[in-house]
Amino acid sequence: MAQEYPFNLRDLRRVIAVAEHRSVRQAALALEVDQGTLTRSIQGLEHALRIPLFERMRTGARLTAAGVAFTKIAASVLDGMDEAMLHLRLRHNGVVGRLRLGVQLSFAQGVVANLFQRYQAAYPDVGLQITDGPRERLLRDVLACRLDTAIVIAGEGWAARAAPLGPERVLAAIARDHPLAARAAVTWPGLSDCLLTLPRRGAGMELRKLALLHGILPERIMFHDAAIDRLLALARHGDKILLVTEGATGIRIDGVVFRPIMGGSGPETFDLALCWREGESDPVLARFIELARRTQEDDASFPGDV
């Protein structure tokens, strides 16, 4: 059961004021309260504590030994309360707190990396707790309140709130000594005789659907349960080609080059979206959504050299 104390924060501030001024009259002037009111407040606190806090003298008021100890505790309590109130106001304004964020794609570079860089520069006291995974699982976690929001490839099956983030290119990671590495870009027909590797997590399923849509045979596609950096290292050896999104180009592996995949109307891309629940009112999330929309409107991305 919580302990009840016979004083409040106002009483603590009044005790500290009298201790600092060493005079009830001077403390009353500083606090802008009636001297009699302040005197009764101090006497009432001493009576409730059954401890004298001050020695009354002609020249003013002096702390007793117990009063010295009490004012130290009172100052600590007030400092803690001030800090708590500041944190609460900052949390209410979305300046401090935690953001649980799901990300489907690699983000060493590109649209998502740029958004994170801008957000962490603007809100350094917000902790980003990032989870990766396939699109469907991340969206389920958003609906189940296990995540605040998720950055995924835009598509069907999401009826709640979403904001576009812009496109990211689809690329082929190729060994530097592979014949296709000499080209500035590759095409789906040019990849049709190659063995393609995909990450099972992240954008793997969407990449597979895209490849099948453009005539790549299923037996030419192999999934791996490994992180992108390990798959890039695998692509460095042999004739296997790894399909990735633009965010992976920030992971540099010696002997591997990235080449954009060209479709019928230009480079293949995936549109990205930021998704969150209906009725979500968390101020930290609201700031992140606001910045994401502003970033997309500014058309800010890192195309880079691949």
pLDDT tens digit sequence for 140-169: 999 999 999 999 999 888 878 999 999 999
97-166+271-297 with 168-269: one CATH topology?
yes
**Is it the case that residue 17 has pLDDT exceeding 50?**
yes
Give the Å distances, CA to CA, from 270 to 50, 192, 224, 288.
72, 20, 21, 22
Angle formed by the axes of helices 24-31 and 35-49, to 10°? 110
CA distance 134 to 33: 63
Give the Å distances, CA to CA, from 70 to 19, 53, 133, 144.
11, 8, 54, 48
CATH architecture of the domain with range 9-92:
Orthogonal Bundle (1.10)
Least Cα distance to 170 among 237, 91, 85, 258 occurs for: 258
* Range ranked top by mean pLDDT from 72-86, 135-149, 237-251, 269-283: 135-149
**Is it the case that residue 306 has pLDDT exceeding 60?**
no
pTM of the model: 0.70
The tally of CA atoms less than 13 A away on the side-chain side of residue 235 is 36
For residue 28, the tally of other CB atoms under 10 A from its CB is 20
What does CATH list as the number for 168-269? 3.40.190.10
Give the Å distances, CA to CA, from 28 to 24, 76, 131, 306.
6, 22, 56, 72
The pLDDT value given to residue 100:
93
Give mean pLDDT, residues 176-195.
94
pLDDT tens digit sequence for 204-258: 999 999 999 999 999 999 999 988 888 998 888 877 899 999 999 999 899 999 9
Give mean pLDDT, residues 66-93.
79
The pLDDT value given to residue 139:
94
CA distance 163 to 166: 9
Give the domain ranges of the chain. 9-92, 97-166+271-297, 168-269
Mean pLDDT computed over every residue of the chain: 88
Classify 97-166+271-297 by CATH class.
alpha beta
The pLDDT value given to residue 300:
46
CB 45 within 8 A of CB 15: yes
